Amino acid sequence: MRIKCTSVEDFLVNLDRAAVFEQAIYVDYSEEDLSEVSKNLFLHASAVLVFPGGGQGLLQCGVHVGVEREGDGDEVRQARDTLKDQLQEYCNRSTLLLKPGILDF
């Protein structure tokens, strides 16, 4: 089973519904060039959930953080870092690890 979320908030809500395999959440960034001076920035988070009864599911989140343009990228990167900080705070409260990378089938 694959569960896709489009916000960090939804991702965190789904984490509360099951145990997290290996106590790890993975986070990564990607960029998509739009032109020579601008690009889309994304944050990705993923984890394997273990449900009561033994079933598992891949929880994924992809968030479009914004468009970084030459000369104004600090605000967009700060927004991306804020989302990562939300994940880190959740991990700290839940004794989970935040690791670099992405999980996929």
Q: What pLDDT, in 10s, does the model give residues 37-72?
A: 899 999 999 999 999 888 999 999 999 998 988 877
pTM above 0.85, yes or no: yes
Give pLDDT tens digits for 68-102: 888 776 888 888 899 999 999 999 999 999 999 99
CA atoms within 13 A on the CB side of 62: 9
Confidence of residue 22 (pLDDT cuts 50, 70, 90): very high
